[in-house]
A and B are shown apart, each in its own frame.
Chain A
């Protein structure tokens, strides 16, 4: 039986990269909570994960530098958040409490993915040691 370490780790690795991307997006929203005219952005995590997974499984090959590749982790499709409260007076659409909670939740989910990855590594290690 051949175990592909790459395949074992791949799912959580993609998830971790997307989580860190999302925390960056949310941090940017929080940083611009008082900037006039700033529009809050976000992306759908589960959809981005699905797209990244299918991009890795498909075996499309770029034969020209101008070809579009399958959308990976680096270029997730960002959307503007529909504001909860319209017309704050300065054109800013950041709802700070919702962004803060989303950031905290995302950080927890990052730790969750990390723990899954860690237990995979531990399992592999104990199999190697044969203890």
Chain B
């Protein structure tokens, strides 16, 4: 029955969006972290979404969910800041901060939480419909 498949589809979207929420939280938490060289600086992480087919056969009636295929690290240059009094400053007096776009991260957070809510609602509706179907004729 097609209604059971909704749990797989909505469930895949829930996990994909929680990955997005997780990476966003990690990026925002590290927005102010400081290192003393460019190599160790935190790079923003972003998940890549792709359609996920339940079985290998891609056909019209095979309806896809969503999956996270990869998490890519941003290659934005770390922010170099002259701060000689900072305990982590290098010998030239520079510290390096993660180059994170907080506005972009906030937008991603809202996208993820809204999508999570929507898909949860979908799964909940499917559950209600199935429960009512079980009561048919009673």
Residues of B contacting A78 with CB < 8 Å?
60-61
Q: How many residues of A contact B (CB 8 A)?
A: 34
Is the beta-carbon distance between A75 and B61 smaller than 8 angstroms? Answer: yes
Residue in B1, B9, B20 whose beta carbon sits within 8 Å of that of A31 in the complex: B9
- A74 touching B49 in the complex, CB below 8 Å, given contacts A20-B2, A24-B3, A121-B137: no
Which residues of B in the span 51-73 have a Cβ within 8 Å of any Cβ on A? 51, 60-61, 63-66
Instruction: State the main secondary structure of chain A at its contact with B.
Output: helix
Residues of A contacting B111 with CB < 8 Å?
34
Is the beta-carbon distance between A111 and B132 smaller than 8 angstroms? Answer: yes
Instruction: State the main secondary structure of chain B at its contact with A.
Output: helix
Which residues of A in the span 1-48 have a Cβ within 8 Å of any Cβ on B? 16-17, 20-21, 23-25, 27-28, 30-36, 38, 41
Which residues of B in the span 1-52 have a Cβ within 8 Å of any Cβ on A? 1-3, 5-6, 9-10, 12-13, 17, 20, 49-51
Least CB separation from A122: chain B residue: B137
CA distance A20 to B49 in the complex (A): 26
Instruction: List residues of B whose CB falls within 8 A of some A CB.
Output: 1-3, 5-6, 9-10, 12-13, 17, 20, 49-51, 60-61, 63-66, 111, 115, 118-119, 122, 125-126, 128-129, 132-133, 136-137
